[in-house]
């Protein structure tokens, strides 16, 4: 009993020491939030808000862009340079995937349930935007934006976005939109405080 109590106390002490390290690896990071107003459009969704440059290296990830109900889902996706995007066909009809932008690619056409990967490793001047198109269905359109770092967010219908776990520092926040343009803005991120940046986009 005595040794149980002792080890319980010891464990509690350990958890108290380890807890903050384990639970909050990005505790020093802050939140950048804001709103994007897409002037003249029916939705404020689909703007990529990102830090133009951030120190450090950023591991690539693997993401999925679905082709479902004759749409690319998500409509706009942002990835860190070197990331792999798995293009999945969830429709009963064959879809094609190609992009006329940057190095250009055509991945071919494949049926329901199959996917093909593409690695976005050729971007040298960020951001690199790739329009995703389907030769079978000319009305289909999606976008992949390749960025230098993982500090980005994509706006929702109301225009709201969030960039999480940003280390304290001074940055330039850029905005990319399929149809509209907006000026980059400076932001100073302080530890433990959230920063707000708003954008108004126009043609």
166: enclosing H helix or E strand:
strand 160-166
Least distance from C-beta 132 to Cu ion, angstroms?
10
Using the contact rule CB under 5 A, the part of the chain among 103-111, 126-134, 141-149, 175-183 near Cu ion is 126-134
- Which lies closer to Cu ion via its Cβ, residue 39 or residue 93? 93
CA distance 123 to 146: 7
- Per rule CB under 5 A, is residue 146 in the interface with Cu ion? no
- Which lies closer to Cu ion via its Cβ, residue 59 or residue 138? 138
Cβ burial, residue 13 (10 Å; 0-12/13-18/19+): exposed
CA distance 91 to 96: 12
- Per rule CB under 5 A, is residue 95 in the interface with Cu ion? yes
- Per rule CB under 5 A, is residue 137 in the interface with Cu ion? yes
- Per rule CB under 5 A, is residue 150 in the interface with Cu ion? no
- Which lies closer to Cu ion via its Cβ, residue 49 or residue 134? 134
- Token pair, residue 11, equals 């464990």
> Is the omega angle on the peptide bond into residue 118 within 30 degrees of 0, that is, cis?
no
Using the contact rule CB under 5 A, the part of the chain among 3-11, 39-47, 108-116, 133-141 near Cu ion is 133-141
Which of 78, 79, 51, 59 is CA-nearest to residue 189?
51
CA distance 120 to 80: 8
- Which lies closer to Cu ion via its Cβ, residue 56 or residue 92? 92
- Per rule CB under 5 A, is residue 112 in the interface with Cu ion? no
- Which lies closer to Cu ion via its Cβ, residue 14 or residue 136? 136
- Token pair, residue 98, equals 């190609």
**Interacting residues with Cu ion (CB under 5 A):** 95, 134, 136-137, 140
């Amino acid at each position: 009993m005595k040794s149980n109590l002792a080890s319980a106390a010891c464990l509690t002490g350990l958890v108290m020491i380890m807890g903050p390290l384990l639970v909050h690896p990005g505790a020093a990071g802050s939140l950048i939030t804001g709103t994007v107003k897409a002037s003249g459009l029916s939705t404020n969704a689909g703007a990529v808000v990102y830090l133009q440059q951030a120190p450090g290296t950023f591991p690539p990830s693997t993401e999925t862009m679905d082709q479902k109900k004759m749409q690319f889902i998500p409509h706009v996706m942002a990835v860190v340079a070197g990331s792999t995007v798995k293009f999945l066909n969830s429709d009963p009809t064959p879809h094609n995937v190609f992009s006329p932008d940057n190095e250009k690619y055509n991945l071919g056409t494949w049926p329901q349930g199959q996917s093909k990967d593409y690695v976005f490793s050729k971007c040298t001047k960020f951001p690199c935007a790739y329009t995703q198109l389907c030769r079978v269905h000319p009305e289909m359109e999606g976008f992949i934006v390749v960025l230098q770092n993982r500090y980005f967010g994509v706006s929702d219908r109301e225009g709201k976005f969030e960039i999480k776990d940003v280390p304290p520092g001074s940055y330039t926040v850029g905005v990319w939109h399929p149809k509209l343009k907006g000026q980059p803005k400076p932001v100073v991120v302080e530890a433990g405080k959230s920063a707000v940046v708003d954008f108004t986009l126009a043609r």
